[in-house]
């Protein structure tokens, strides 16, 4: 019996040969306030990150963006570099494709999360990055996730795909 093409592609897309790394954590306590970088934060199951304005807000309990995308965003907006705080995402990860986690289960340290969708850029990217900021972020906006099992997140924690039976 042969596996269907869709099933084979799903299996290949779930092949993560190595863990990624949590590189940066940012919190914003209120709307309109700049993100603050922290070394660790409590991730609360079903709620979000302690001290973040999106705490308790449904599918957008936490947002993630790919560190490898920052140079592309910088190049597209004419910046020498892009500070992750400008992008209004909570977690900056490297070494694992966050887009491949968009509906998957994954762990950052001991915290279990489930991708809940794409984190599309908003008009505020024009303010943060200048003219064309929203267009530059298209395809680079990262993902949103729900926290299924809480715990502490620390910069340096591994980011691993979790295959659930």
Answer for the pair 14, 115: CB distance below 8 angstroms, yes or no: no
Answer for the pair 22, 156: CB distance below 8 angstroms, yes or no: yes
Please give the average per-residue pLDDT across 48-69, as a whole number.
86
For the domain covering 33-157, report its CATH number: 2.40.33.20
Answer for the pair 110, 62: CB distance below 8 angstroms, yes or no: no
Record the pTM.
0.86
Instruction: For 84-110, write each residue's pLDDT tens digit.
Output: 998 888 999 999 999 999 999 999 999
Interatomic CA distance for residues 34 and 40, integer angstroms: 18
Please give the average per-residue pLDDT across 39-56, as a whole number.
89
Please give the average per-residue pLDDT across 45-64, as a whole number.
85
Interatomic CA distance for residues 65 and 143, integer angstroms: 7
Among 61, 116, 152, residue whose Cα is nearest residue 52: 61
């Amino acid at each position: 019996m042969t596996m269907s093409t869709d099933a084979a592609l799903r299996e290949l897309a779930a092949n993560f040969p190595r863990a990624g790394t949590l590189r940066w954590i940012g919190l914003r306590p209120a709307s309109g306030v700049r993100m603050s970088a922290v070394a660790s934060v409590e991730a609360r199951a079903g709620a979000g990150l302690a001290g973040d304005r999106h705490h308790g807000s449904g599918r957008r309990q936490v947002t993630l963006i790919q560190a490898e995308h920052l140079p592309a965003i910088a190049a597209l907006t004419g910046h020498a570099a892009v500070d992750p705080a400008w992008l209004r995402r909570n977690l900056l990860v490297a070494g694992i494709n966050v887009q491949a986690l968009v509906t998957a289960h994954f762990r950052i340290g001991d915290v279990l999360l489930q991708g809940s969708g794409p984190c599309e850029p908003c008009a505020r990217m024009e303010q943060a990055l200048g003219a064309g900021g929203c267009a530059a972020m298209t395809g680079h906006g990262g993902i949103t996730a729900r926290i299924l099992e809480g715990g502490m997140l620390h910069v340096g924690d591994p980011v691993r795909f979790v295959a659930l039976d």
